[in-house]
Amino acid sequence: MKSLMILLSSLFLMLLLAVPITAKDLTPTYSDELVTVDQAKTTSVAQPAQPKALIELIEETELTKAAFIEHLKPQLDAAYATDLVIEAADKVLGPAVGDILEAYVELPVHATISHEWHLLFYGFRYFPTIIPYHNNVEFTFNHDKVVYDVRVVSVEFPTEEGARIKAPNIGLLGNKARFNLEIERMRASTASHLNIPTDLSWQTTFFQINSPILQYFLLNWSYNASKTYAINVQRSPLITTTNTTLYQKQTYNPKDNYVRGFDIHNKPLHWDSKTMTISGTINTSKPGKYRQVLTYHYLYQGVPKEYTKVYFVDIIADQTAVLLQDVSLYQGQAYNANAPFLNVTNKDGEPLKAENIHYYYVNNQLTKEIDTSVPGKHDVRIVIQDATNAWRYSETARVTVKPDQTTAVLKDIELYQGQSFDANAPFDTVTNKDGTPLKAEGINYYYINNVLTKELDTTQPGSHQVRIVIQDATSKWVYSDPKTITIKKDYTAIEAKNTSYYVGETYEAIKGFVSATDEDNRALAFAAEMSWMNDQKPVDMSRAGTYQVYYGLTNMSGQLVIKAVEVKVKERDLILTVAPSQAFGNVNLGETMTNLYWKKENKVAVSDEGDKGWQLQAALVNATQFERYLFIRDQSFADGAVLISDGRGSQVVSDQLATVDFVYVNYQATTQLRTDSGVIEWMLSPSIRAVTE
């Protein structure tokens, strides 16, 4: 018998592997007859279940279900049929939102089965004398929570759990659970009673019974039912209000917040300032959210009652604005009636368009049109209504129609070969709509020789056509007349020559200048700026040397036309000036005056402009004995070349020296008549002392 039971346990363990087993904290006390049946392990079962045993098990299961339905379910139905117990004195749910009614219901949660009768259910003898088991009871409500709410606030167990009970009955209901409830009104209602639908789920659980077979049988004991409880409620008025929004300074009328209502007899309830009062502060001049309470006063069974309803009034700022601005447009432009609007809004702060404004005045005429064909000034103003329907008047705005000063007048110009072309040069009067001069860089349509360009090759002489196209204030195209750009040949030229000077002379650049012409081939007179040296230093006339000097002009393209020449500074030569002949005269023999002196008119002069110093000597050549009678001071020319004089700078030597200090004839030693002539060779040389110095 024991082996059969183990086999069946293994079989049902496999079949019911997904069935949950829940143990509660209730621990029963068993008698000495308690027999523990070991739970078989599925892994140790080597042979399959016998078909006969399976058939017997199915039969036992069906018998168990039938016994539960016949003997225990009627007791559960009777227990669940019990109505709610209302503990409140008046036993009525109040009419006000938030009113609470307390109640409870008792449901059985425990049952036992006696040892004597277990064979009727299970057919086995291996059971405890008393098999206690507990039941999971789930008590839920399926009600409309918008109208009322039902909550289980606590659960009590009035009877002792776990008592040993012996009874001849098949099954016995034991301990009950008291479910304490709160029923709260969530919304006013004119109904006289309240239905509370509920669902009950009653499922057997067990503990300290290790046999899977017993667990399987006990799990067949379950109970589910639905029921609707009914409670009485006090009738209440029902009023519907609405929240409203007002603008600053608008009139507040509580009647506007009243929607509809029903009295306690469910008859329509109209706005009545006698039975309905409003409480709560409100200031329509100050934006904000204001809470208002509507209180309805009525009688219930002769007793004064009040019904309240809360609503809110939002006071929002009136954002109506009529701020205009001065605007200007150009002659011929289309007038936009919205242009003067700086801040024009309705009560909600939404921008308004001119087409939505009826009272729009131009020069005090109800119109939105302005004639812009003629320059002038016009006054614009508008009138609109604010949130309180009061008229708002704008300040006057000025609309100025300005003349269109767009011009595109060009002029003929000339430039010279190689000059850079300035695209602005042909502009005579080129202005925008405001009369502001335009530059070529801001003009897109600039044509030279019908080509869209602002560049011009000036390397070759010739003529070119220029024209422009610009837009006026109305975006129309303005075309200039074509004008001519003439590129002329540049005749700028200069000629110069080499020059020489003596040391000490004054340098004059004009002496090296030959000729010069300007860009138009006109002759130019010499100017100091036409000549210069590389180092910008003047020619040094104090010493000999060669210098490079430049003569030049700037041509029309900004380039220098240069001619380089040499300036030589030379040492100045010593120059001796002597009369071609000198007649000394006659001396009579026997006279005491025997000297014949050099005649003053026959000048002997030395030119030493360089102030270098010099030495003058003389010698008599091609003469016979005349040298004996020709003297300078006390030296005879018979001694050879004699020193006449030496010095520095230019001087007339013959004037500087006295009679005997210059060349003279002395015939004192002669005793006979003589006539002498000869040639004096004058020798002028640089002074040795000057060289030494």
Looking up tokens 């102030």 gives 611
Pairing of strands 100-108, 321-324: unpaired
C-alpha Rg value of the chain to the nearest Å? 73
CA dihedral 257, 259, 264, 270 (to 10 degrees): 90
Q: How far is the C-alpha of 621 from the C-alpha of 110, rounded, in Å?
A: 184
Structure tokens at 91: 């036993």
Q: Does residue 14 sit in helix, strand or coil?
A: helix
Q: How far is the C-alpha of 61 from the C-alpha of 66, rounded, in Å?
A: 9
Structure tokens at 230: 């009914």
pLDDT confidence tier of residue 76, bands split at 50, 70 and 90: confident
Q: How far is the C-alpha of 329 from the C-alpha of 319, rounded, in Å?
A: 30
- Interval 304-358: pLDDT, tens: 989 999 999 999 999 999 999 999 999 999 999 999 999 999 999 999 999 999 9
Residues contacting residue 559 through CB under 8 Å, at least 6 positions apart: 418
Task: Tell me which DSSP letter residue 174 carries.
Answer: -
Neighbour tally for 126: CB within 10 Å: 15
The region of weakest confidence among 373-387, 426-440, 666-680 is 666-680
Answer yes or no: is pLDDT of 600 > 50: yes
Residue with the bigger pLDDT between 144 and 371: it is 371
232, 251, 270 - which closes a domain: 232
467, 488, 509 - which closes a domain: 488
Q: What is the pLDDT of residue 135?
A: 52
pLDDT confidence tier of residue 211, bands split at 50, 70 and 90: low
Q: What is the pLDDT of residue 7?
A: 24
Structure tokens at 452: 């869209």
Q: Look up the domain containing 552 and give its range.
A: 493-570
Answer yes or no: is pLDDT of 194 > 50: yes
Neighbour tally for 44: CB within 10 Å: 8
Q: How far is the C-alpha of 106 from the C-alpha of 109, rounded, in Å?
A: 9
C-beta of residue 569 within 8 angstroms of C-beta of residue 538? no
Single-letter amino acid code for the residue at 610:
G
Instruction: Taking residues 676-686, report their average pLDDT.
Output: 88
The half-sphere exposure of 426 on its side-chain side, counting CA atoms within 13 A, is 26
Average model confidence (pLDDT) across the chain: 80
Single-letter amino acid code for the residue at 33:
E
Q: How far is the C-alpha of 559 from the C-alpha of 107, rounded, in Å?
A: 122
Q: How far is the C-alpha of 287 from the C-alpha of 280, rounded, in Å?
A: 15
Task: Tell me which DSSP letter residue 437 carries.
Answer: B
Answer yes or no: is pLDDT of 640 > 80: yes
Q: How far is the C-alpha of 637 from the C-alpha of 634, rounded, in Å?
A: 10
Answer yes or no: is pLDDT of 118 > 70: no
CA angle 212, 218, 219 (to 5 degrees): 85
CA nearest 667: which of 569, 587, 561?
Answer: 587
Answer yes or no: is pLDDT of 509 > 90: yes
Q: What is the pLDDT of residue 157?
A: 62
Q: How far is the C-alpha of 437 from the C-alpha of 182, rounded, in Å?
A: 91
Instruction: Taking residues 285-312, report their average pLDDT.
Output: 93
CATH number for the domain that contains residue 362? 2.60.40.10
Axis crossing angle, helix 51-67 with helix 2-15, rounded to the nearest 10 = 70
CA nearest 467: which of 414, 429, 427?
Answer: 427
CA nearest 628: which of 674, 582, 578, 579?
Answer: 674
Residue 79, burial from CB neighbour count under 10 angstroms (0-12, 13-18, 19+): middle
Does residue 671 share a domain with residue 592? Answer: yes
Q: What is the pLDDT of residue 196?
A: 82
Which contiguous run of DSSP H or E holds residue 13? helix 2-15
pTM (predicted TM-score): 0.43
The region of weakest confidence among 205-214, 352-361, 457-466 is 205-214
Does residue 120 share a domain with residue 37? Answer: yes
Does residue 187 share a domain with residue 92? Answer: yes
Does residue 423 share a domain with residue 362? Answer: no
Q: How far is the C-alpha of 287 from the C-alpha of 246, rounded, in Å?
A: 9
- Interval 539-576: pLDDT, tens: 999 888 999 999 999 999 899 999 999 999 988 888 89
Helix, strand, coil abundance in the chain, percent, nearest 5? 15, 40, 45
Does residue 529 share a domain with residue 643? Answer: no
Answer yes or no: is pLDDT of 365 > 70: yes
Q: How far is the C-alpha of 541 from the C-alpha of 502, rounded, in Å?
A: 8
Instruction: Taking residues 526-550, report their average pLDDT.
Output: 90
Listed in sequence order, the DSSP H helices in 519-671 are 653-656
Answer yes or no: is pLDDT of 478 > 90: yes
Does residue 199 share a domain with residue 74? Answer: yes
CA dihedral 216, 217, 218, 219 (to 10 degrees): 50
The region of weakest confidence among 19-28, 114-123, 679-688 is 19-28
pLDDT confidence tier of residue 110, bands split at 50, 70 and 90: low
Q: How far is the C-alpha of 320 from the C-alpha of 347, rounded, in Å?
A: 4
Task: Tell me which DSSP letter residue 38 carries.
Answer: P
Q: How far is the C-alpha of 482 from the C-alpha of 488, rounded, in Å?
A: 19
Does residue 255 share a domain with residue 336? Answer: no
Structure tokens at 615: 């030495």
- Interval 412-446: pLDDT, tens: 999 999 999 999 999 999 999 999 999 999 999 99
C-beta of residue 620 within 8 angstroms of C-beta of residue 693? no
Instruction: Taking residues 203-212, report their average pLDDT.
Output: 54
Does residue 531 share a domain with residue 449? Answer: no
Task: Tell me which DSSP letter residue 242 carries.
Answer: -
Give whichever of 48-52, 173-177, 240-244, 591-595 has the largest mean pLDDT. Answer: 240-244
Does residue 39 share a domain with residue 94? Answer: yes
Count of domains observed in the chain: 6
DSSP 47-110: SPPPHHHHHHHHHHHHHHHHHIIIIIHHHHHHHHTPPPEE-SSS-SB-SSTT-EEEEEEEEE-E
Does residue 583 share a domain with residue 541? Answer: no
CA nearest 382: which of 420, 423, 344?
Answer: 344
Strands in 85-86's sheet, in edge-to-edge order, are 85-86, 100-108, 176-185, 148-156
DSSP 206-251: --S---HHHHHHHTT-EEEEEEEEEEEB----EEEE--EEEETTPP
Q: How far is the C-alpha of 185 from the C-alpha of 300, rounded, in Å?
A: 18
Q: What residues pair up with 329 in beta bridges, in sequence order?
A: 401
Listed in sequence order, the DSSP H helices in 139-247 are 212-218
Give whichever of 146-155, 222-231, 260-269 has the largest mean pLDDT. Answer: 260-269
pLDDT confidence tier of residue 42, bands split at 50, 70 and 90: very low
Does residue 457 share a domain with residue 603? Answer: no
Q: Does residue 450 sit in helix, strand or coil?
A: coil
Residues contacting residue 602 through CB under 8 Å, at least 6 positions apart: 578, 579, 581, 582, 654
pLDDT confidence tier of residue 49, bands split at 50, 70 and 90: very low
Q: What is the pLDDT of residue 24?
A: 28
Looking up tokens 């004996």 gives 628
273, 298, 316 - which closes a domain: 316
Q: Give the chain's length.
A: 693
Instruction: Taking residues 445-451, report their average pLDDT.
Output: 97
Percent of the chain predicted with pLDDT > 70: 77
Answer yes or no: is pLDDT of 684 > 70: yes
Does residue 562 share a domain with residue 518? Answer: yes
Q: How far is the C-alpha of 536 from the C-alpha of 534, rounded, in Å?
A: 5
- Interval 573-595: pLDDT, tens: 888 999 888 888 888 877 777 78
Q: How far is the C-alpha of 188 from the C-alpha of 97, rounded, in Å?
A: 6
